[in-house]
Structure 1
Amino acid sequence: MISLKKILCLLLALGIFICLALAKPTAPAVEQAVTASSVPVFEIAEPRLNAPDRQPSADASPPSEHHYQVEDAAAISQLPELPNGCEAVAATMLLNWAGLPVTKEEVADALPRGEMPTENEDGAFVGGNPEDVFVGNPYDAGYGIYHKPVFFTLNSLLPGRLTDITGTSFENLLSVIAAGKPAMIWATEHMDTPYLDLEWQDDEDRLVEWYQPEHALLLTGWDDDYAYMNDPMTGQQEAYALSDFKHVWELMGSQAITVN
């Protein structure tokens, strides 16, 4: 027969066993050290699925954007007849837009011409001056011609309808296009940075500095990023970065002719 003392000992042992079984286990020392460290914890938010698109408020203004394009300015190619006649072709496009049905050959033939630079017996190069004449031959070997003689020629073909705006600001040049009028401009092929190709003396001992790759085009449009122009070399409208065009046009003397 079990004594009261043994029963009490069994009950005490059973109670201790139950307490140990129900007690929360203690984390090891290493786990406690990591948990209690000062390393920051960054919470990454879950993406919001099917979140509504953010719409601009009714008071928000649309971004400023400019786009101007002159209508009915047909492009003409200088090739194959005028391999060095970009100025004659750009001028022809301007005259055609103004209502004069002249051909590029007629304009090329009307431009005054001067000699290509050649070395004389003293070893100096002497030739025509593009400020006065077309240096060389637009049908063959040639350099080119600048705004003054081109304007005089165009004014003789279409009196009182043209304006030489050479030296104007770039902003004023763009305002001409915004007003719906094209402009013949001097720049370079592909808007490449011009470089000094050759120097010579004209028949009045004036120094001529010729920069390549000189090119004349018809400016017909622009927006915030590009200038659009009829390119005689391709016979199509081409787009050139507006900043590149500004840089090259100013380096080439800010030359331009437009219609009144």
Structure 2
Amino acid sequence: MLDKPSKSEAVPSLSHPPSVLLDVPLISQMPELPRGCEVTSLAMLLHYKGVHVSKLTLAKEIKKDPTPYRRIGQTVYFGNPNKGFVGSMTTMSRPGFGVFHGPIYELANRHLQGRAINITGSSFETVLFHLGQQKPVWVISTSTFERVPARYWRTWQTPQGPVSITYKEHSVLLTGYDNQYVYFNDPLANIKNRRFPLASFIRGWEQYGKQAITYK
């Protein structure tokens, strides 16, 4: 289950330009952070805003859930990505996963001096509105940028209760859109303004809980 933000930012009007493409500095998560897409995408957002903090600094600062990976029969016990980064961010040789919007929002707010906005749970029109205001948007989607079939989803037992995840998870920084495509900086593929069909991307984003963060 995905934690919801405690409060959301009201958007007075969802009108936005027909297309936008922002020039956001591209930062690769590799080679240091093979599971660090979330903090690297946040680093790109902060750099665009003029806050020059490194991905490695953010990787150290992000809250961690230290719950170890255990498997008993068919049941997996692991950390809660709503509470902190789960497992190892720096090596694929140890169990790991990632982190959801809550700890990222908290970290973004610290560096943006309270000006971060958690728009998780809002419609994609709200995301487009903020892009239309020349603000990139941090998101979590699936790694296929499309809905992931049910067979790839798992339920973990965490200290706070069950959490549903798929390892086909990825965080990118949205940089633009038009009537057919969404554009984003992809920290794993190391592609600036990568293009993907809008309708497909929205389906994957919605499946992973409509997680999105930007700033005032």
- Return closer, same or farther for 1:234/1:124 CA change in 2, 3 Å cut-off: closer
TM-score, length of structure 2 as denominator length: 0.84
Of Structure 1 and Structure 2, the greater helix share is in 1
Corresponding position: 1:90 with 2:44:
no
Instruction: Tell me which residue corresponds to 1:99.
Output: 50
Cα pair 1:185 1:219 within 8 Å, conserved: yes
Cα pair 1:84 1:144 within 8 Å, conserved: yes
Question: How far 1:165 sits from its partner (Å)?
Answer: 0.5
Letter in 1 for 2:138: M
Instruction: Tell me which residue corresponds to 2:32.
Output: 81
Question: How far 1:116 sits from its partner (Å)?
Answer: 4.7
Question: How far 1:160 sits from its partner (Å)?
Answer: 1.4
Q: Which of 100, 107, 110 is matched with 1:146 structurally?
A: 100
Q: C-alpha deviations, 1:207-242, integer Å up to 9, x for none?
A: 011123100000000001110000011222210000
Corresponding position: 1:110 with 2:64:
no
Cα root mean square deviation, aligned: 1.7
- Return closer, same or farther for 1:253/1:153 CA change in 2, 3 Å cut-off: same
Instruction: Tell me which residue corresponds to 1:68.
Output: 20
Q: Secondary structure at the match of 2:138?
A: strand
Q: Secondary structure at the match of 2:91?
A: coil
- % identical aligned pairs: 34
Aligned residues: 193
Distance 1:144 1:90 in 2: 13
Question: How far 1:243 sits from its partner (Å)?
Answer: 0.6
Q: Quick check: which has more Rg, 1 or 2? A: 1
In structure 2, stretches of 5+ residues that fail to align are 1-16
Distance 2:82 2:120 in 1: 13
Q: Give the stretch that moved more between structures: 89-98 or 137-146.
A: 137-146
- Return closer, same or farther for 1:116/1:218 CA change in 2, 3 Å cut-off: farther
Letter in 2 for 1:177: L
Q: C-alpha deviations, 1:186-213, integer Å up to 9, x for none?
A: 1122314224443221123x00111231
Letter in 1 for 2:191: Q
Letter in 2 for 1:129: N
Cα pair 1:229 1:239 within 8 Å, conserved: yes
Distance 2:205 2:153 in 1: 17
Distance 2:28 2:148 in 1: 22
Cα pair 1:111 1:134 within 8 Å, conserved: yes
Cα pair 1:76 1:236 within 8 Å, conserved: no
